[in-house]
Structure 1
């Protein structure tokens, strides 16, 4: 269809196209490698669907920015499902035409039937030979460079599966890091987007490559349209001759019969002229065709020959109708083709429509996930900042689940089915949820361990799973030491400066406040955690037998509330202590003004809790009675209230103003009258009227309720029923939920406490 130019081949014996009229962006989608004198090209393949979406977006908005384009074309996509590490390298070659990125094989850590750890290679990087990779690993093992590996076998068939068995004392994360560093399990892929454009080599950026493709397709479509228009005009020319001949059939038959031979007939027909008005009456469209000369329609030689070749059956009425119908159809095509040539928007629309047909038929999901390089914080630009629920089980399985999967229910409901779990003894194999946290996808999570160390992860880097999924072992996510277990978690909302740079851990951003089971507290500047590492940092020194109970962000002048298992509480300020005035409230016990500790802040103007470094143990926050221990910590404010929940499913909200501020280190006052009916306190959190609460039971059931449904009560009241518990079931933990904007209807099985179901507490009690 004459869509591209032709040129002689290398020896002039034939002609070849200067460029192929590609229906899809082959250069970007399939990539390619080439070497010439002083020039080289190496371009990674990209996802067909993403590239077509990017081209359509650039057609709609020629001024589209690179970040906007990268929302659609996220990066290269190789035929194998390896991991792409590094956004900056992708952004660099998208912007300049040159750049590089790291490719990693997919690795999982499993356990075999003997309890030994296995490193399972599920995919190798693009271009890496499995046999060569295994030879390199064996070589490093024989040279005693990789000392933690005891065996390796290749179980690959259609899918890659290379099992590397580790020694019992080997740390899987360390061996994986060594494999990435020392073998081709991690490689570099360099991009040089060089191509011949208009007979010259050119370094293309992504936008320039798309522009060149759009211009190429524009030229192809215009030339194709002109070709089709020419063919349509040629056919219309013959059909017009037929219409004129059939309209003057008697005259034409007489001319042919009176002619001595074909040449005379051709000459006499050629001299037969019609007015344009006569032609129009026969349905002929008068336009700029060659047969129109002024106000006369004159047959061309081609038309005369076509008339002479008419057969007798074509003179029937039915054949005349067919000629007229075909001519009318061709006129529609001609008008459409002329409209395409006249309007640029039609050409661009055709480009998009033809690309979308290819996308809908051939596009496949992305194979290669794109992950951020260590220290590179840019993935959030490609990920929606959705509300998430992060859970960590007793046996150390972590996952993130969209908050929308937890539908809202009424107070006292039966709950939703969670992970298949139940509380058991420490030697039992069953599991249960131990930590539940509500976050946004872009947030940071600080994981504090029982040994006092902290690990920092982005929420979107955690494994995603459904509400009923088990999740992934935390040891496969964090580089934990064998004896470490997660004790507390802290959410940090990501923040940026005016230049868009991440400054979450900036100086003056606040303090990390710690509370331990034994009643110790301390605060450390958030800035002290800015240089976090994959291997973790020391966050607090913990003596043997002590555990972290809570971690919070504070301003340095906040009021802290500690709540114990036996229902005691104390409120004190981080800042300068001011002795309370007035008589003791009901249930409030006298508190010694001096705790008797050397670390007390007795001096005028000195804060009670002074900032300390990471490797410190803290000071006494509350004095505990025998067998009592701290279960919860909250930050007091005028906008929030203290919500306390007990293991038998009761809870209450109390204003923080009901608790007078005391000197840290005292015994505190009663916050819940603990009885057999209430059970011990399980947790305490600060809430607002608009908050939502997630409740988790010992059997793995979960229920999401509004805080506003929980009645405000006095300080020592037992509260109201939060949920219905089965026999032997206990409330295990509570957590605030970040609202996701969807108030789902309650479960059909939910029962409000007001229905008077057995065991519910609907009236405020103080007994």
Structure 2
């Protein structure tokens, strides 16, 4: 197939000329020219300085503009315009993008541009060039250092009016330190950043031992060091890349598992994989949680700022194992990414795939050449200066004759010729003498010239030694690299983990969660909640060390729920897995490791917690007793979609004083009143009611008496009744009272809504019960601080008087029983009582 081209005639007499061209040949030629241009002029870095042409032109232009670190920033658009107008006519967008990347600390391990303004983030684009400012960073000065000392070759720019360097002197091994990425035609490069100190150590070792092996060099460069830190797992791919120039490794976010709230743990992400931004991670996690592909996450917050840096807080639901959730995050989100190393760079104008040793060798050879050319240039300059100083010294020694020769000459040309003849000077020396001001021809300047001459001779000798000795040359290069590492080096950021790199299997859903084992949920007299490690009963006997007594004990499972019953007739749902775990056998029972109930429920002013109960619809029912003598058996139809609901409709001024689980209708419901009356009757006498119901009459009260304790007891068990009497006129919590312990079997059963029988005979000064409790023995009493208080021996008569105690009692209970607080001595368990 051919293409016909028409060349327009310059005048009407010129005949039309048509040239037949083979399209395939034309396409092949054009494509190769395009590919060559992309490879050599845009996409691939030079292995010597690690810069692409646009990056090199930016650094050179900024250096020529005087934008050094000690100068002020200038608009980025000014830099872009200067680069585009003089050296890089490929559009301002490409130039600005390259400038921005060289200023981003999350893209470059050692940024060479100092940016001022919004230069973007891993998730966001930078501001427009008219809003940002830039100047060279301190490290960039090492890249352009001694560029004016004939260290590198220059070539004409695109229009031949300017010149630009073909490569930078690059005192920093930039290609390995900052890496590179680029897509050319038919090839691409993707090089990982490394730590400057490690790369310099390897380069110095190669300078000292040119036959060093890859294993020797990897002792200094064990792996990449990414700008964003993180963790690299699986070094086999890194070794392949260092050996052959190609390899793959996996990057992981750096995470810790911490207690983010009193009840929940969380995963704290402080570092992400290279080129991964926090918004990308947050978006992916939310998508997976919404699609129910990722379980166990209750909340996700991005708390990153410029002071603390990156901080993602991933809150884990209770009942899920944080370590297992973290593995799922690594598997499903960008918190773990792979990095494919492809070390393609230009060597002598030819694209090559290089391993670690080849990359270091190319750079070392470049620096040797730079230092050699710089030394030759400096020696040449010093020799030229020494030549002038020698001529000036001759003139000073023969100052009178020199003046006479100049004064007797017709013009400067004749004076120059006569000086060269009379004093055997060169044309350059004679010209310099004629151009020297007379003020310099003094005795002091003669001494200065002698010192300068000696200095020049010493420097020329040192430079000649460098040029004549390969060993000396290598030492200079090595020492300069050591100084660069000392000046610009920073500690390693990325952790390297040896791993096979094998893919992990997906975690099964049951592996993410805590096992739903049986347990006991405990509520103490000082307002603490906890659970046991299993369903083993707590020890009932033990020494009398400081301990709590139990208000309620409920059978549940780790992933189950319990309801907290309050004095205002509310039940609040609590997740058992949220509760701290206690040993399965505490002797004596103690909840010192529990958490205050206030961490799990919000109480209204004046509201207290009276007990806990099961939320299982098939479990034991709940029985409630109020201060005004109302009793209620609650039908367990608790709403599944509400965490807070009423379980009894209370009259004005009435409060719930007791809540007990009712395992059987054969159990007795027990009221104890402030006027020392005890009433017991079977639970079957009370009809179960729905949650809104207000209950029915439970006990008949006389005068101003009120119910101070309510509970449910199994009549088949051997139980005890504890009552403590005192004066109603005493200040709450100040009197010790008289205590009596009697057998529960001594109290006869009566009908519902009757008056009951006397539980304690009041002595002189006693007119009210301060505290009462009934349950399986032995009974225990504690003070407000949880210290044990001795109780008297059991009294045979149910209506006998009490024995005066030695300390004030705040609560009474048993190993698995229920307790009540003395009125005014703390009431029902308060949230703040955990401070005791």
TM-score tier (shorter)? 0.3 to 0.5
Q: Relative contact order, CA 8 A, sep 6+: which one is greater?
A: 1
Query: What is the TM-score when the length of structure 2 is the normalising length?
Result: 0.41
Query: What is the TM-score when the length of structure 1 is the normalising length?
Result: 0.45
